[in-house]
């Protein structure tokens, strides 16, 4: 494999951002230094004026999600491709807890589905659902950990499909086992009893706009409070996925005051889109769960980013085509989820440039270093340390462009951020020393992405 020397870039990780050169050899970072001279045969990339950062990580994706009688349109090759255009070299996707299968079988099933199809690296969060919960959970988790998966995903809603673990003692047992084994429990937080009560008494219509009223911010706050109290009793950290509201963030703050370690993730859509998108003929395109909130929630979450109350931004990329989305205008049956991996960096960089208190290191931390650390793949991923995987994103902050359905790469053929004027563009994406995207051209190869063990 040819050596690559990246010259003159602003080399940025969570700690520093300074001009330096980076040398890549055999897929690994060989050296980082003020000035590195090329040897004959080296491929030299001039990154003057550009940020050179560890390959980005989207810690929350649903590529090829089979659900509700359909499948998301970005499968593994499509997801890898659009990710490369967004500078993302690793995703953390999900293994469902399949009916009739234990956790090990469920993980093996998902790994088999993905085998040979990803062109970027990946690891998995393992779902633990109510329908499959039993007293063998402790030994299942031990085996899961031995297979390289240390993060678990639970739902606090979706009782009707069996996802919810309803019994408090079971949850306590799960958190205690997670603590014993050093595993991280990630929770989708919407308090099911509140959602069911609202739904049972609902007199309104089921338009996309009603989705936001049927699943209110208070349900998020209540779920965080409730599940947090169980985590607190077990003295086990909690990771809150896709926090969507000020109410949710306040509940996280309260738990932290009580001494619980709470890691918080939010997404670009909860930061930059509000529920007025649900009005109008294409409201279905903006339906996801939890729903979009008010502008005041955008502001509260943005402040949370600036105050470093969030450790991770990830996208919950769960893309359906326009036809799939618009096939229903009833919020109970609209396929929930939107694309986002590709837009993550440019949206956040635009926000950063408008908020001088936020540094490029802060940004890189949120979408590379910290997810790598929390999910056990650091420093292999999320760092520029010598000897680690040469996953590198080269980002040109000088480009100004407008997101449109035509200039993003999701098979959904739309972007929820259509019309957003963004700052910066990914110039080059490198995965383990191989250029997989350069100047708008994609070179990724399905099958070359590797499963990364969590440790």
* Residue 50 near residue 397, CB atoms below 8 Å: yes
- Binding of ligand URP by 318 (CB under 6 A): yes
- Structure-block tokens of residue 190: 């919407």
Query: H or E element: which one contains 111?
Result: helix 103-114
CA-based nearest residue to 177, from 255, 103, 251: 103
How many of the chain's residues bind Zn ion (CB under 5 A)? 2
- Structure-block tokens of residue 174: 């799960």
Residues 345-374 that bind Zn ion (CB under 5 A): none
**Residue 388 touches which of ligand URP, Zn ion, none (CB < 5 to 8 A by kind)?**
none
- Binding of Zn ion by 188 (CB under 5 A): yes
- Binding of ligand URP by 275 (CB under 6 A): no
Distance of CA 253 to the CA centre of its chain: 21
Ranges of beta strands (E only) in 229-283 are: 238-240, 262-266
**Residue 283 touches which of Zn ion, ligand URP, none (CB < 5 to 8 A by kind)?**
none
Greatest pairwise CA separation for the chain in angstroms: 74
Name every residue whose Cβ is closer than 8 Å to that of residue 82 and which is 6 or more positions away in sequence.
74, 339, 341, 342, 408, 409, 410
Residues 141-200 that bind ligand URP (CB under 6 A): 188
- Binding of ligand URP by 289 (CB under 6 A): yes
23 has which bridge partners? 5, 31
- Binding of ligand URP by 336 (CB under 6 A): yes
Q: Toward ligand URP, which CB reaches closer, 61 or 383?
A: 61
**Residue 243 touches which of ligand URP, Zn ion, none (CB < 5 to 8 A by kind)?**
none
**Residue 422 touches which of Zn ion, ligand URP, none (CB < 5 to 8 A by kind)?**
none
Q: 3-class DSSP state for residue 415? A: coil
37: number of Cβ within 10 Å: 10
Q: How far apart are CA 298 and CA 272, in angstroms?
A: 6
Q: Toward ligand URP, which CB reaches closer, 340 or 424?
A: 340
Q: CA angle, 120 as apex, 114 and 126 as ends, to 5°?
A: 45
* Residue nearest ligand URP (C-beta atom): 336
- Among 121, 316, 343, 370, contact with ligand URP (rule: CB under 6 A): 316
- Binding of Zn ion by 317 (CB under 5 A): no
* Residue 194 near residue 222, CB atoms below 8 Å: yes
Q: Toward ligand URP, which CB reaches closer, 119 or 288?
A: 288
329: number of Cβ within 10 Å: 17
Q: Toward ligand URP, which CB reaches closer, 289 or 365?
A: 289
Q: Toward ligand URP, which CB reaches closer, 153 or 434?
A: 153
How many of the chain's residues bind ligand URP (CB under 6 A)? 8
- Among 130, 248, 283, 337, contact with ligand URP (rule: CB under 6 A): 337
Residues 210-229 that bind Zn ion (CB under 5 A): none
Distances (CA, A) of 347 to 99, 249, 288, 342: 38, 21, 19, 10
Question: Considering the complex, what minimum distance in angstroms separates the CB of residue 318 from Zn ion?
Answer: 6
**Residue 337 touches which of Zn ion, ligand URP, none (CB < 5 to 8 A by kind)?**
ligand URP
Q: How far apart are CA 7 and CA 45, in angstroms?
A: 6
- Among 7, 30, 62, 125, contact with ligand URP (rule: CB under 6 A): 62
Give residue 337's region: left, alpha or beta (phi > 0; psi -120 to 50). Answer: left
Q: Toward ligand URP, which CB reaches closer, 230 or 288?
A: 288
Which DSSP letter does residue 361 get?
Answer: H
Q: Toward ligand URP, which CB reaches closer, 336 or 416?
A: 336
Q: Toward ligand URP, which CB reaches closer, 240 or 394?
A: 240
- HSE toward the beta carbon, residue 194, CA cutoff 13 A: 17
* Cis bond before residue 379 (omega within 30° of 0): yes
Question: Considering the complex, what minimum distance in angstroms separates the CB of residue 317 from ligand URP?
Answer: 9
- Binding of Zn ion by 274 (CB under 5 A): no
- Binding of ligand URP by 370 (CB under 6 A): no
- Binding of Zn ion by 316 (CB under 5 A): yes
Please give the residue ranges that form the binding site for ligand URP (CB under 6 A).
Answer: 62, 188, 288-289, 316, 318, 336-337
Q: Could you list the residues that contact Zn ion (CB under 5 A)?
A: 188, 316
């Amino acid at each position: 494999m040819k050596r690559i020397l990246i010259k003159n870039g602003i080399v940025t990780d969570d700690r520093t951002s300074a001009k330096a050169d980076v040398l890549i050899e055999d897929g690994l970072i060989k050296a980082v230094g003020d000035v590195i001279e090329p040897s004959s045969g080296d491929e030299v990339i001039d990154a003057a004026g550009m940020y050179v950062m560890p390959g980005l990580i989207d810690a929350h994706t649903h590529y090829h999600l089979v659900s509700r009688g359909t499948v998301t349109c970005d499968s593994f090759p499509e997801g890898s491709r659009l990710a490369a255009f967004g500078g993302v070299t690793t995703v953390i996707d999900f293994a469902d807890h399949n009916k009739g299968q234990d956790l090990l079988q469920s993980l093996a099933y998902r790994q088999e589905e993905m085998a040979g199809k990803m062109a970027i690296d990946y690891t998995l969060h393992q779902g633990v659902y109510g329908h499959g919960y039993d007293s063998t959970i402790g030994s299942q988790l031990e085996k899961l950990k031995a297979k390289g998966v240390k993060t678990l995903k639970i739902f606090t809603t979706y009782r009707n499909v069996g996802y919810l673990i309803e019994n408090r003692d079971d949850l306590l047992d799960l958190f205690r086992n997670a603590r014993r084994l050093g595993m991280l429990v990630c929770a989708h937080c919407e308090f099911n009893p509140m959602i069911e009560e609202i739904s049972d008494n609902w007199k309104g219509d089921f338009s996309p706009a009603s989705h936001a009223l049927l699943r209110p911010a208070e349900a998020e706050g209540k779920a965080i409070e409730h599940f947090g109290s169980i985590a607190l009793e077990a003295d086990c950290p909690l990771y809150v996925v896709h926090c969507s509201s000020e109410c949710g963030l306040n509940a996280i703050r309260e738990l932290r005051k009580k001494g619980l370690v709470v890691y918080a993730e939010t997404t670009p859509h909860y930061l930059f889109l509000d529920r007025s998108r649900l009005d109008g003929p294409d409201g279905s395109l903006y339906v996801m769960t939890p729903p979009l909130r008010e502008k005041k929630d955008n502001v509260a979450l943005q402040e949370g980013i600036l105050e470093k109350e969030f450790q991770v931004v990830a996208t919950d990329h769960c893309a359906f085509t326009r036809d799939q989305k618009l096939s229903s205008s009833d919020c109970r049956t609209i396929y929930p989820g939107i694309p986002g991996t590709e837009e993550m960096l440019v949206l956040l960089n635009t926000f950063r440039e408008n908020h001088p208190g936020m540094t490029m290191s802060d940004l890189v931390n949120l979408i590379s270093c910290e997810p790598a650390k929390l999910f056990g793949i650091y420093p292999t991923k999320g760092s520029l340390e010598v000897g680690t995987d040469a996953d590198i994103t080269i980002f040109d902050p000088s480009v100004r462009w407008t997101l449109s359905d035509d200039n993003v790469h999701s098979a959904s053929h739309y972007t929820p951020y259509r019309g957003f004027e963004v700052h910066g563009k990914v110039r080059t994406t490198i995965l383990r020393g191989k250029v997989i995207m350069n100047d708008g051209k994609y070179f990724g190869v399905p099958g070359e992405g590797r499963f990364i063990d969590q440790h």
